[in-house]
């Protein structure tokens, strides 16, 4: 640091005036009673507790040591008081300590800056409060170091600020554009389900919710396109990231909206439970994909209705065992009353082992044009004690169980039809029709011959 400059001619003139003022001091017993009228107007005798009082007329500077001045006008506070119309400058070559055991108040009507080359700390065993119309907290890669002021100069000026506003403006613009895109996608999503309401309370409720969501999304797009400067915000910027850590709970509360935006992935992790609640509706929306996963089990529940829909593709429900509906009610779930399967083209039931359909009263299958039943090995129908079995080698109709006739009444095999009663039977083949238990009593051939017990009978 360069040595201080030598006194100028102006300083020498001031020293001469100070020496003249010293000669005019009335109290020479370590008390300053006043100075001449061309320097200061002393109204009354000063207290014996006042030890030093100095006036500098230009620039106006007033220094007081001891009890406050009771002259007209009064000045200072008992202790040490300093007033100046110009600058106050301290240049310390080593350490500085300023401490007090009472109130400490530092205030300015202009800009306030604090710089440090090393760690800067602000702490209190009670609380630390930072209040402002706008509060900025930023961590950037290369903050500007302090700029020492020269020991002599005409004016004191602020250091170049570590400005955060351009960085915050950039992030705000990114979030604004993302809000527009997200809300536009939400409006498209909501508009797809905007259908004509039916005459039911649930349908009208869903319609009202759809209209509310549409209005909310449209308003969000309008607000994003027309941003307004709202005072009283807090901005936190971390160039390498922002970490909020607490060994206890963290709570975010707002009387308006709460938004979270990330250009990459967003992860919410909890060692116990994660809950997403909303007074009207909670939505999980993904522009490309939305996934709900769990290591043990995942549940989707609603007090009224649950919908799983695919707008343009395929809706899949997968699992080792899949259950739809329940017979008996309990405290958590009512019994299922009705299940509907609807499709504009076809409904397929495909199982590698078996498909089973049961009903307590009746089962109806209705087709507008064709009804087909197809199997590679067998088709079996059981009604009471009678059943029908269709296999690749033929058809059997008769009494039996589980769709398998044990004593067929009607048998169709190849091009032959056999009908058996308790003692008689009929067998129809391609060339002959036979009557009898074994088909050996009466036969009629395609040639017009009639055989009784194998013998030809001539009629006429």
Same domain, 405 and 456: no
Nearest to 17 by CA among 36, 32, 3, 44: 36
Same domain, 28 and 52: yes
Distance in angstroms (rounded) separating the CA atoms of residues 391 and 376: 8
Structure tokens at 13: 């003139």
Summarised one tens digit per residue, pLDDT across range 236-294 is 888 888 888 888 888 888 877 787 877 778 888 888 888 887 777 777 877 778 888 88
Query: 211, 226, 241: which is the final residue of a domain?
Result: 226
Distance in angstroms (rounded) separating the CA atoms of residues 436 and 440: 6
Provide the pairing of β-strand 79-84 with 134-139.
unpaired
Summarised one tens digit per residue, pLDDT across range 176-227 is 777 776 767 666 666 665 555 566 655 666 666 666 666 666 776 666 666 6
| Unique residue bearing structure tokens 């997200």 | 182
Q: Residue 24's pLDDT band (boundaries 50, 70, 90)? A: low
**Is-contact 90 149, C-beta < 8 A?**
no
| Domain membership flag for residue 169 | yes
| Domain membership flag for residue 445 | yes
Distance in angstroms (rounded) separating the CA atoms of residues 390 and 373: 11
| Domain membership flag for residue 323 | no
Same domain, 5 and 70: yes
> 399: domain range?
380-413
Same domain, 392 and 428: no
Same domain, 460 and 397: no
Half-sphere exposure (Cβ direction) of 367: Cα atoms closer than 13 Å: 7
| Domain membership flag for residue 96 | no
Distance in angstroms (rounded) separating the CA atoms of residues 296 and 206: 32
| Domain membership flag for residue 262 | no
Rg (alpha carbons) of the chain, rounded to whole number: 50
| Domain membership flag for residue 457 | yes
Same domain, 2 and 15: yes
| Domain membership flag for residue 217 | yes
Structure tokens at 49: 């507790």
Same domain, 388 and 449: no
**Is-contact 146 245, C-beta < 8 A?**
no
Distance in angstroms (rounded) separating the CA atoms of residues 243 and 236: 11
DSSP 166-221: HHHHHHHHHHHHHHHHHHHHHHHHHHHT--PPPSSHHHHHHHHHHHHHHHHHHHHH
In this prediction, residue 96 carries a pLDDT of: 93
Same domain, 405 and 454: no
Q: Per-residue pLDDT averaged across 165-184, rounded?
A: 74
In this prediction, residue 98 carries a pLDDT of: 93
Q: Across the chain, what does the average pLDDT equal? A: 78
**Is-contact 250 244, C-beta < 8 A?**
yes
In this prediction, residue 80 carries a pLDDT of: 92
Q: Residue 13's pLDDT band (boundaries 50, 70, 90)? A: low
- Strand-pair partners of 75: 69
Residue 322 has pLDDT above 50, yes or no: yes
Same domain, 386 and 459: no
Distance in angstroms (rounded) separating the CA atoms of residues 49 and 70: 12
Same domain, 389 and 457: no
Same domain, 409 and 425: no
Summarised one tens digit per residue, pLDDT across range 337-364 is 999 999 998 888 888 888 888 888 888 8
**Is-contact 139 237, C-beta < 8 A?**
yes
Summarised one tens digit per residue, pLDDT across range 398-445 is 889 988 898 888 888 888 888 777 667 777 787 777 777 666 677 777
DSSP 385-434: TEEEEEETTEEEEEEEETTEEEEEEEEEETTEEEEE-SS-EEEE-SSEEE
- Strand-pair partners of 413: 394, 416
Summarised one tens digit per residue, pLDDT across range 47-78 is 556 678 888 888 899 998 988 887 777 888 88
Query: 58, 88, 118: which is the final residue of a domain?
Result: 88
Query: 202, 226, 250: which is the final residue of a domain?
Result: 226
Summarised one tens digit per residue, pLDDT across range 87-126 is 999 999 899 999 999 999 999 999 898 888 888 899 999 9
- Number of structural domains in the chain: 4
The percentage of the chain sitting over the pLDDT mark of 90, rounded to a whole number, equals 12
Same domain, 403 and 432: no
In this prediction, residue 38 carries a pLDDT of: 38
| Domain membership flag for residue 118 | no
| Unique residue bearing structure tokens 């083209």 | 345
Q: Which has the minimum average pLDDT: 14-23, 265-274, 389-398?
A: 14-23
């Amino acid at each position: 640091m360069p040595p201080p400059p030598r006194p100028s001619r102006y300083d020498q003139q001031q020293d001469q005036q100070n020496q003249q003022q010293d000669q005019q001091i009335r109290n020479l017993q370590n008390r300053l009673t006043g100075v001449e009228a061309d320097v200061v107007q002393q109204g009354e005798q000063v207290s014996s507790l006042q030890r030093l009082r100095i006036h500098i007329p230009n620039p106006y500077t007033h220094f007081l040591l001891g009890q406050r001045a009771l002259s007209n006008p009064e000045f200072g506070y008992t202790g040490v008081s300093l007033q100046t119309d110009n600058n106050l400058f301290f240049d310390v070559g080593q350490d500085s300590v300023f401490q007090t055991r009472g109130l400490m108040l530092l205030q300015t009507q202009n800009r306030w800056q604090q710089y440090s080359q090393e760690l800067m700390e602000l702490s209190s065993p009670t609380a630390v409060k930072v209040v402002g119309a706008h509060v900025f907290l930023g961590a950037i890669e290369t903050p500007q170091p302090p700029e020492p002021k020269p020991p002599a100069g005409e004016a004191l000026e602020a250091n170049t600020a570590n400005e955060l506003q351009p960085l915050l403006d950039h992030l705000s613009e990114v979030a604004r554009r993302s809000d527009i895109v997200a809300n536009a996608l939400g409006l498209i999503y909501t508009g797809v389900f905007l259908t004509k309401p039916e005459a039911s309370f649930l349908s009208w409720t869903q319609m009202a919710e759809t209209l509310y969501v549409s209005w909310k999304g449209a308003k969000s797009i309008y607000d994003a396109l027309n941003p307004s400067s709202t005072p009283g915000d807090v901005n936190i910027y971390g160039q390498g990231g922002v970490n909020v850590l607490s060994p206890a709970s963290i709570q975010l509360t707002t009387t308006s909206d709460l938004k979270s935006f990330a250009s990459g992935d967003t992860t919410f992790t909890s060692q116990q439970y994660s809950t997403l609640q909303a007074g009207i509706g909670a939505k999980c929306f993904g522009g490309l994909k939305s996934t709900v996963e769990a290591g043990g089990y995942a549940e989707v529940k609603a007090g009224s209705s649950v919908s799983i829909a695919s707008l343009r593709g395929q809706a899949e429900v997968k699992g080792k065992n899949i259950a739809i509906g329940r017979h008996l009610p309990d405290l958590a779930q009512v019994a299922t009353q009705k299940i509907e399967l609807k499709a504009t083209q076809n409904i397929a039931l495909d199982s590698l082992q078996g498909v089973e359909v049961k009903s307590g009263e009746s089962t109806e299958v209705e087709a507008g044009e064709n009804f087909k039943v197809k199997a590679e090995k067998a088709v079996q129908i059981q009604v009471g004690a009678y059943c029908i079995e269709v296999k690749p080698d033929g058809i059997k109709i008769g009494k039996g169980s589980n769709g398998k006739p044990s004593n067929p009444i009607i048998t169709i095999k190849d091009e032959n039809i056999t009908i058996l009663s308790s003692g008689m039977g009929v067998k129809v083949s391609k060339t002959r029709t036979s009557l009898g238990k074994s088909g050996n009593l009466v036969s009629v051939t395609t040639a017009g011959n009639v055989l009784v017990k194998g013998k030809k009978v001539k009629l006429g």
